Structure 1
């Protein structure tokens, strides 16, 4: 079982010819809404990878809640741990440029009400995977890592978005996933010695005992575990929208580890899934099915 403790949003997505600079207004193109939130995205990715998934989080008692949960419900994710709160459902405001890159502002709403007491709904068990991110209160993330360890579950922490105050607990997880920018920021916050990224990754792993995975966009993935460095390539694609790639990677990685794959094989599958997610617009609508990933890996 994979338990995701995290955010549930409705994404409001506008396309623009290019992303604006500070204080600049640019004309837009299409607009659409789609379910999102890093927690919900990763839960759906793990479910589409074939894993049983439980979601712990919160939505509002508003018109956005049903739409925010629609893909999870259709994907067979257990929503028994999702509370309905008086706060508004979380919202992400997303601009997608003509080159597929994006800018995102997140308004947490009900996600900010997910507290350590809600972990009673999680029912962590030995051998389970607990998947976490930083879009809910960090006290809850930290508590979830501790509760999972006590239950004998395995924690996978996606350190996005970067929050400096999380530096004190990121190394407590069994697996830590960051993109290259986030890792560089955490490396500074943790005062890791200056050097090339693989050297700093190895030092992080040595200090914490965690397996560290750094995603590099189109350049693939670097990971360090037990003193070695693993590099996995991304698929060669022309991206349409990168907004769901990282979350797809995390969900598929959790599913691969849950299925008993070794880290390198789980990374290859997750990297392929993340690449495929760039070929369609939106976060959850772009997450590929396991059969599509199988086809891509066969090449």
Structure 2
């Protein structure tokens, strides 16, 4: 494959949140107060994180979601638009903009409580999808909305099945790709029979399964300077869909997505700065010991 990657169209349907993050040296135990926190407000939500990652990797993306008619909603729209995300299909609703309360320790581990707010009003009514347009969803919005998007999507349809939940049979049948971490894979047994599932294993890399059979894998990129793990999985998801849509073989697509995830954890933001996808494809080939062709 040429080193020049085509810019695949990618639309994300999902959540948009304001992340209110407290960073501290360790996470509190139940009932305990830890008093050295540093507070930060920044854009988040799995859907928005994936849309911003896709825009930074491929030059553009489209987001379908909902925000409140409040200052947080305006800030989040501005942040997405400035990253190259098409925000025209984001609804403005009377509910407050979704909020995530996040605790992060010095190792980048986190605890998160999500207050969905406007994310409960996400809809794909009136939204059209192109024949060649890939669509990526998650489960931070109602699964019926995700199913509606799956029915309307004409091209490649991917689901990041997070947070873990039982999947509607029709939704799972429609998925061209499901992406989960190892915990989610264990919690959703129906994925063992799914046609194509990508599973991330943190420091152990990632793998692809066809009908429960492991058919490809790629090692993780070693990272010592972890700042925040929250946006890494979302960046991985966007990168993997884009890489597969660009025609990379499974192992090379996984390796490129692993390289993206490694870059993401070095950034304190849930919507990290990223290089174009070509950069990570080259890094992934180097990791696998392949020379570019």
Question: CA 1:57 to 1:268, structure 2 compared with 1: closer, same or farther past 3 Å?
Answer: same
d(CA) in 2 for partners of 1:258, 1:131: 12
1:145 is aligned to 2:147: no
Unaligned runs of 5+ in 2: 1-8, 288-293
Q: 1:270 maps to what in 2?
A: 257
Structure 1 unaligned spans of 5+: 191-200
Moved more, 257-266 or 49-58: 257-266
**Alpha-carbon contact 1:2-1:130 (below 8 Å) kept:** yes
Residue equivalent to 1:212? 197
Alignment-derived partner of residue 32 in structure 1: 40
What is the TM-score when the length of structure 1 is the normalising length? 0.86
**In the alignment, which residue of structure 2 is the partner of 1:236?**
222
Q: Give the root-mean-square deviation of aligned CA atoms.
A: 2.0
The separation in 2 between residues aligned to 1:62 and 1:52, in whole angstroms, is 26
Within-5 A mapping of 1:9-28: 9-28=17-36
Sort the Cα spacing of 1:279 and 1:167 in 2 relative to 1 into closer, same or farther, 3 A: farther
Report the equivalent of 1:183: 185
After superposition, what is the alpha-carbon deviation per residue over 1:177-213, rounded to whole angstroms, capped at 9, x for unaligned?
Answer: 01110110002xx4xxxxxxxxxx6xx2xx33x2111
Check the 8 A contact 1:119/1:144 in 2, yes or no. Answer: no
Cα distance, 1:294–1:232 mapped onto 2, change above 3 Å = closer
**Conserved in 2, the CA contact under 8 Å of 1:176 and 1:212?**
yes
> How many residues were matched structurally?
275
TM-score by length of 2: 0.87
Quote the offset at 1:97 in angstroms.
Answer: 0.7
Q: Pick which of 92-101 and 224-233 moved more.
A: 224-233
Q: Tell me: CA distance 1:224–1:295, structure 2 relative to 1, closer, same or farther (3 Å).
A: closer
Partner-residue secondary structure (3-state), 1:13 = strand
* Richer in helix (by share): 1
Asked if 1:288 corresponds to 2:274, the answer is: yes
Q: How far is the alpha carbon of 1:166 from its aligned partner?
A: 4.9
The correspondence for 2:122, drawn from 111, 114, 117, is 114
Secondary structure of 2:103's aligned partner: strand
3-state secondary structure, aligned to 1:28: coil
- Tell me: CA distance 1:256–1:109, structure 2 relative to 1, closer, same or farther (3 Å): same
Q: Equivalents in 2 of 1:292, 1:34: separation in Å?
A: 26
